[in-house]
Amino acid sequence: MTRATTNSATSSGDTRSAARRRRLLPAAMLVALSTLLAACASGGDGIGTPPPVPTREASFDTTAIEEAMTATLDAGAPAVLVEVRDGDEVWRSARGTSAVVGGAVADPLAAVRVASVTKSMMGVLLMQLVEDGDLDLDTRIERYLPGVVDPAQPVTVRQLANHTSGMPDYIDTFPLDDPTAVSAMLTAEYTPQELIERVADVPWLSDPGTEFHYSNTNYLVLTLLIEELTGESLPDVLAERVAGPGALESTSLPLDTSMPEGAAHGYFTTNGIYVDVTEQSGSLWWGAGGVVSTVGDINTFYRGLFQGTYLPDEAVSELIDLGPEGYGLGIQGHVDPCPAPEPTATPVETTSDPVAPTDEATADGGATGDAAGSPSPSASSTPLGVPGMTYGHLGSGLGYRILSFSSPDGERQVTVSWTASPPDYGDDPRLAPAWAVVDAALTATCHTGTP
């Protein structure tokens, strides 16, 4: 048993912070470059309740979790924020500092940009609209939004949500290796339509429904769809249908560059240089990745998803039905290191053997790579989900990355966020130790035996 603290910083952590500062540009150049870039009603019947109060000590062993957090920090993360839940028990910890220069000790509940975890919230909104009778996932998007995508491409709503539309990714049209271009990218204001139009002349990656290609453009189209069907802006819809019912008090989708007071600073890293990109327009991302939240709120969200806050079980089952690439409707699967329990319901064969996407490039919008992971069982024998799987999402934005996964009974959650990202997500040395945090937490909270 190890002691849980809300501000886990050591003298060795201070030494590592100093070492990172030595790798920065000289102060005047840093300020100049940082300024350049940083100037870069509920659909369910359940009502969310505030999360349990965190314990000072964990009943489970946190040693491996803390070791993986330290490894993530050592790999170059200015801050690493973690929350683990096991039933009514909550354990939080942080490593590092809130900012590379002049930052305070990292706060585990500091606000961060959660990037593509936003897509899970979008999946909830889509299924709520299905439950309301306003949306058919297998209807062509052209019926709801004439002319938004190439009408010659018979794209359905489901294909957009599960990344089989074949649409190219608008993020790839921004030259992330050009500081001047990144500055303009971060400070500009965009409509979803303007971002979609950036790929209007880019060849489609495949015919709709034939291949999996992770593309943020899909969720821009879904942003327009949700706004069309609800008659409200996406930030308002998320507030009314997700944040409010789930009691997510620190969750919002700001379309300007604002961040809450005390937010963790995010850094774009290139060639050993850390550039503060905390302030960036949420209109660059919309429903593809614009939400600002905390590791605690994200755990609360996924727990609520699996415990009836937002949707009936049948709708959740459809949401988390994973395809061959390990992706559902805004949901990714990750193999649980905890052994699957004995069957508690009649097995229902699935149509594929989903795998957990672990390669960053495929799983979260990078340029290269294939999804990889261990195959899950092919039969569902639990009320929700596939035995031996957890569900959540990997989020990768500019300056912030996050992993969040939950057991399908909603009893075990882990969320880890770190505050640095490279131009190529697949080359992030912090990703592997962050995954180790996830697996260590899921192992520590396992109650069915030793894996």
- Position 59, amino acid: S
* Residue ranges of domains in the chain: 11-444
What span, in angstroms and rounded, lies between the C-alpha atoms of 283 and 223?
Answer: 11
Q: Are 101 and 286 in contact (CB under 8 A)?
A: no
Helix (H) or strand (E) holding 307: none
Query: Which DSSP category does 269 fall into?
Result: E
What span, in angstroms and rounded, lies between the C-alpha atoms of 340 and 229?
Answer: 39
What span, in angstroms and rounded, lies between the C-alpha atoms of 331 and 308?
Answer: 17
pLDDT, residue 187, reads: 85
Q: Are 84 and 414 in contact (CB under 8 A)?
A: yes
| DSSP-assigned beta bridge partners for residue 89 | 86
pLDDT, residue 44, reads: 40
pLDDT, residue 168, reads: 98
pLDDT, residue 57, reads: 76
The pTM is what? 0.82
Positive or negative, the CA dihedral 158, 161, 166, 170 is: positive
Per-residue tens of pLDDT for the chain, all 451 residues: 333 333 333 333 333 343 333 334 333 333 333 333 333 333 444 445 555 656 557 899 999 999 999 999 999 999 999 999 999 999 999 999 999 999 999 999 999 999 999 999 999 999 999 999 999 999 999 999 999 998 788 999 999 999 999 999 999 999 887 766 777 788 899 999 999 999 999 999 999 999 999 999 999 999 999 999 999 999 999 999 999 999 999 999 999 999 999 999 999 988 888 989 999 999 999 999 999 999 999 999 999 999 999 999 999 999 999 999 999 999 999 999 998 765 433 333 333 333 444 333 344 433 222 333 333 332 233 468 888 999 999 999 999 999 999 999 999 999 999 999 998 999 999 999 999 999 999 999 998 644 4
H runs (alpha helix) in 307-430: 313-319, 360-363
Buried b (16+ CB within 10 A) or exposed e, 368-398: ebebebeebeeebbbebbbbbbbbbbbbbbb
Cβ count within 10 A of residue 96: 29
pLDDT, residue 272, reads: 84
- CATH architecture, domain 11-444: 3-Layer(aba) Sandwich (3.40)
Cβ count within 10 A of residue 5: 14
Residue 178, Cα to own-chain centre: how many angstroms? 25
User: 360 in helix, strand or coil?
Assistant: helix
Q: Are 57 and 3 in contact (CB under 8 A)?
A: yes
H runs (alpha helix) in 132-274: 141-144, 157-161, 179-187, 192-197, 217-230, 234-238
What span, in angstroms and rounded, lies between the C-alpha atoms of 195 and 231?
Answer: 21
